[in-house]
Chain A
Amino acid sequence: MATIAPPLQAGGTATQVPKRISREEADGLAARLRGRDPGAVEDLYAMIGRRAFGLAYRVLGDGSAAEDAVQEAFLDLWRLAPAVDRSRGRVDSLLMTLVHRRSIDALRARERRTPITGVMPDEVLDHNAVELFERVADALTHERVVECMESLPADQKITIELAYFGGLTHTEIAEQTGAPLGTVKSRLRLGLLRLRADFGIEETS
């Protein structure tokens, strides 16, 4: 059967869902990274490179730019390596956070929009956030996260997507959707609060 756009370059078997990395594997990779073993980066790429590319491509919609963002994120991880320990969460989650950050940076640079220094707030790498996430991370498969997103009210979902995948500020979202700024802020907050409940993340201080 024909498809609308043939895969440009298959980087793996398209139908095979990658195995999730176990906690032990993640810890092992982190230990090797701290020991500055470049092979750990290569092994991590083999395990989640395609998924990392998927995230960058979702943000950038351009294969070359997505590859660049993925490469920069792996280099970021490599430079962070001495500090990669449990307090920063699993190495695969950390890499995906770095891929997202690099992708949004590239997107904003490409569109000549106001750059945001440190696109993701530092809080993202904060112990508390990472710890809360780690408790539920194993259950948050792609299917589960998509299911939770789809169950949001449509306006909340698209507002969150514009912020997370589109890298837009609240003001830009308001301009482009025609919604009042206050509405945009509350859609972001209420949508995330609902996802928090669906993801099973607790609010603890």
Chain B
Amino acid sequence: MTCDEVRDLTGAYVLGSTTENEKRQIENHVAGCDLHAEIASLAAVTLGLAAAAPEVPEIGPRSGLGARISAAVRADEAASDPASAVAPVSRPVWSRPRWSWASSGARFVPLSVAAALAVAVGALIIWNVTLQLNEPGEELVHFFKEADGDWVRVEATLGEPNARVSLGGFDPLPPDRDYQLWAVRDDSAISLGVFDPDEDGKWSGDIDFPLERGDLIAITEEAEGGSSAPTTDPLLSTRL
């Protein structure tokens, strides 16, 4: 690789996004090249990226995880040093039940304003990307941002009842009003719930509704606690 070829790849390299072959070539090259300084500094940047994940995720680990880790560490210690082990060194079998996704009992309701929702604010799109991984259980990452800065990001395995929704750009509402998130399919809208953005105007959480390609995601402002069908024009809508 030439210096220019290596320089093009420094970002991908520190993010672990190169091929193994490129990785080896880069490492051989920078042993004798000033680009190692750029790589070290960009690697330092990636160490900061972990902080982009929420410090207080809206769901946390189950309360037993600390005990599980403690037991695993102590078992590892015993296994690696049998002489000091006072307990049997065989590893405990940890119980790992799946997370339960409680059904919300949500139902589609007829929606007279579905058509209005579907055409709203299309002109305001500044960019919109849908990524599709062609793997079993099609995964979808959909990002949509409007000119006024409101945005929504949906990550879902299509047809499966869990999707991750993140939102931003939403101003605080008075206590008697809530934002409500909808999925619109055919001529029906289903409430995915109401949300309260944080002081930065953001919210993220999980919804237990099986989204499909073609569903319209919309956000309206409603009375506190939400409505059974949208009563206001959407502040944002985007089709998956």
Interface SS of B by simple majority: mixed
> Which of B19, B55, B60 is the most central at the interface, judged by chain A CB atoms within 10 Å of its CB?
B60
A202 within 8 A of B: yes
List 25 A–B pairs whose Cβ atoms lie within 8 Å, in order of A's numbering.
Answer: A2-B225, A4-B165, A10-B60, A14-B56, A42-B66, A45-B66, A49-B65, A50-B60, A58-B54, A61-B155, A63-B99, A64-B98, A74-B73, A75-B72, A96-B50, A123-B43, A142-B51, A142-B54, A163-B12, A185-B12, A186-B11, A188-B17, A189-B11, A195-B48, A199-B45
Closest to B181 in A: A4
Residues of A bordering B, CB below 8 Å: 1-12, 14-18, 36, 38, 41-42, 45-46, 49-51, 53-55, 57-59, 61-64, 66-68, 70-71, 74-75, 78-79, 89, 93, 96-97, 99-100, 104, 111-112, 116-121, 123-124, 126, 128-130, 132-133, 136-137, 140-146, 149, 154-155, 158, 160, 162-171, 173, 176-177, 182, 184-193, 195-196, 199, 201-205
Given contacts A117-B20, A140-B48, contact A42 B70 (CB under 8 A): yes
Which residues of the partner chain A approach B69 to less than 8 Å between Cβ atoms? Answer: 41-42, 45, 49, 70-71, 74-75
B residues less than 8 Å from A14 (CB atoms):
56, 58, 60
Report whether B60 and A53 are in contact in the complex, using a CB–CB cutoff of 8 Å. Answer: yes
Are A100 and B50 in contact, with the CB atoms below 8 A? Answer: yes
Give CA–CA (A55, B47) in the complex, Å: 13
Q: Tell whether A62 pairs with B43 under 8 Å between CB atoms, given A5-B207, A9-B62, A169-B19.
A: no
Of the listed stretches B109-117, B127-135, B210-218, B232-240, chain A binds B127-135
User: Which residue of chain A is the closest to B137 with respect to CB atoms?
Assistant: A111
Complexed CA–CA distance, A37 and B132 (Å): 46
Complex Cα gap A165–B97 (Å): 25
Check A132/B40 contact, CB under 8 A, given A17-B56, A51-B55, A164-B49.
yes
In the complex, which of the residues A3, A36, A126 contacts B40, with contact meaning CB atoms closer than 8 Å? A126
Query: B53 touching A78 by the CB < 8 A rule?
Result: no
For B105, the chain A residues whose CB sits under 8 A away are none
Render B90-132 as a binary contact track against A, CB cut-off 8 A, 1 for contact.
0000001111111000000000000000000000000101011
Question: Are B61 and A66 closer than 8 Å at their CB atoms?
Answer: yes
Contact A11:B65 (CB < 8 A) given known A142-B51, A158-B129, A188-B15: yes
Structural contact, A129 and B40, CB atoms closer than 8 A: yes
Residue numbers in A under 8 Å from B61 (CB-CB): 9, 11, 49-50, 53, 63, 66-67, 70
Chain B residues in 8 Å Cβ range of A163:
12, 15-17
Q: Shortest distance in angstroms between A111's beta carbon and chain B's nearest beta carbon?
A: 6
Specify the chain B residue showing the minimal Cβ separation from A18: B55
Q: Which of A7, A67, A75, A184 has the most CB of B within 10 A?
A: A67
B228 at the interface (CB under 8 A from A): no
**Out of A7, A38, A171, which one reaches B60, CB within 8 Å?**
A7
Tell me which of A5, A130, A132 has the highest count of chain B C-beta atoms within 10 A of its own C-beta: A5
A121-B13 contact given A129-B40, A132-B40, CB 8 Å threshold? yes
Q: What residues of A have a CB within 8 angstroms of the CB of B68 in the complex? A: 67, 71
User: Are B45 and A196 closer than 8 Å at their CB atoms?
Assistant: yes
